[in-house]
A and B are shown apart, each in its own frame.
Chain A
Amino acid sequence: MKNKKSVIYAVVLIFLIWYGLYFFLESNIIPSPITVIINFFSIFIPVILPHLAMSLYRILTAIFLAVFIGVLLGLLIGMNKKIDQYISPVIYLIYPIPKIAFLPIFMLLFGLGDRSKIILIMVIVIFQIIVTTRDSVKNINPEYFHSARSIGIKGLKVYQHVIIPAILPQILTALRITVGTSIAVLFYAENFATQYGIGYYIMNSWIMVNYVDMFSGILAISILGLLFFQVIDIIEDRYCHWVKAGNQKSFEYK
């Protein structure tokens, strides 16, 4: 309920600012939000949806691969001092490089199609996931491992009952941070060698000087981001309820 209210508040605030800009600037570059919303709904299914679906496919595949590979690598580095010693310096060297500059190389290596775009997003997101997982694993209180062993939890069950639940809140936070970045990268990557994707649609509308369509595309990309954040919130509510429970209790004591 609280979440719904805050979304409505954000939508109203943004539309007010937008309307203010439209009203005071009196320029074609910023169309009226009402015109954009009407246009958005009228072209959503025939025009925007195919672009949005393509973008969703690219970003979901990239995020899934980044989380899967990133968590595995992060666990491996976090649980093994020797591997950490050899891999972490390499990560520190590659992490700050603006990977977006590698798009031409990825295109040459993996083709002009979806693969190069997905790999670019994945490569950008994965570092945050690796570093977060590694640090979260290292910060798990050793007493939890002793506690698990003392009641007979061994092998893969340690991951199931101790490690994964302990690091999940931090991974979701990392995911929240990277969702914004990945959408921005997606927008950039969809400007090359494709005719489908919300990034392409926005830039194409801009070239055609159709600002109403362009803003309808921006609205769609914003809804896409909101959708991701909502899904992450739902996962957090379902699997990390204990974090909230703890926070509420400590708040009560204050």
Chain B
Amino acid sequence: MINVKNLDFSYQNQKVVKNINFSLKEGKSCAIIGPSGCGKTTLIYLLAGLIKPDRGQIIINSNLIKDIREETGVILQNYGLFPWKTVYDNVVLGLRTRDYEKKEIKLIVNKVLDKLGIKEYVNKYPAELSGGQRQRVAVARSLVLKPDLLLMDEPFSALDALTREEMQNLILKIHKENMLSYIIVTHNIDEAVFLGQKIAIMKQGEIIHLIDNPYFGDLRLREKEEFFQQTKKLRMMMSEDDLL
């Protein structure tokens, strides 16, 4: 599905993404982990087509990415919701720009809002919601566009531990139900192990390790021994590379 080749990107004469190569098959997921400033957000922006690489290419479903892609959903760090629009207007905006019919929009939006348990907040503004509720709205806004790929940039970093786990479970459920491919950027080891079928460790703009996570996909993984083993393994790898 995704094939990234020799990707480079510089910002203010500094290379923030260096020679990135990786691929991800359809219906799979990948967690990118690394310290602040390692270039993981830039990588998500490149994959989303929001910025253009200096070198290399991103191919998604055999198409070279030159601009944003309609089937890619993006959830940004601060949710990307517009504070001046109600929950409903935020969720519906993408569909309106895609010229859907009114009836169809209502049907799609209601279904997604129901699924995410945020139907009662439709007339509220983002500022009136809790962090978790806002995050659900951001997820809803992406899901209504029926993406085949979801890109998330530290989506749960501002949430408390319990809400964070609740949101991680939600993403995993959506992934399993729809075979939705996703890439999540995080600086949380537990999150990377729970949500990444593949885990990429980034350091100074480069992917230094790309590992498979055989325990991915279990909603009760956090309660199991394997989870601790995997997080320990990841922690040790990061520690050896002076990332911790």
Residues 142-182 of A, flagged 1 when their CB comes within 8 A of B and 0 if not, give 01101111111100010001100110100000000000000
Q: Is A246 an interface residue (CB 8 A)?
A: yes
Rounded to whole angstroms, the CA-CA distance of A166 and B45 in the bound complex is 23
User: Which B residues touch A166, using CB under 8 A?
Assistant: 84
By size class, the interface of chain B is: 20 to 34
A240 lies within 8 A of chain B by Cβ: yes
- The residues of A that contact B74 with a CB separation of less than 8 Å are 146-147, 150-151
Contact indicator B125/A146 (Cβ below 8 Å): no
Is B38 at the interface (CB under 8 A from chain A)? no
A242 in contact (CB, < 8 A): yes
In this complex, what residue of A is CB-closest to B138? A147
Nearest Cβ on chain B to A229's Cβ, whole angstroms: 22
By the criterion CB–CB under 8 Å, are B141 and A246 in contact? no
A157 to B93, CA, bound (A): 11
Interface residues of A in 201-254 (CB under 8 A from B): 240-242, 245-246, 248-250
Query: Do residues A151 and B128 form an inter-chain contact, with CB atoms below 8 A?
Result: no
Give the size of the chain A interface in residues (CB under 8 angstroms): 25
B98 at the A interface (CB under 8 A): yes
| Chain A binding surface, main DSSP class | helix
CB-based contact A144/B125 at 8 Å: no
Tell me if B14 counts as interface (CB < 8 A to partner A).
Answer: no
Most A C-beta atoms less than 10 A away, residue of B50, B77, B80, B84:
B84
CB of B68 closer than 8 Å to a CB of A: yes
Contacts of B145 in A (CB 8 A): 151
Instruction: Indicate whether B231 reaches chain A with its CB closer than 8 angstroms.
Output: no
> Which chain B residue lies CB-closest to A146?
B50
- Inter-chain CA distance A126–B94, complex, in Å, is 35
CB closest chain-A residue, reference B95 = A151
Partner of A246, one of B68, B76, B98, B127: B127
Q: Does the CB pair A161–B82 fall under 8 Å?
A: yes
Specify which chain A residues have a CB less than 8 angstroms from the CB of B50 in the assembled complex.
146, 149-150
Identify the 9 closest CB pairs spanning chains A and B, nearest first. A147-B80, A246-B127, A151-B94, A150-B74, A165-B84, A245-B125, A242-B125, A242-B84, A152-B97
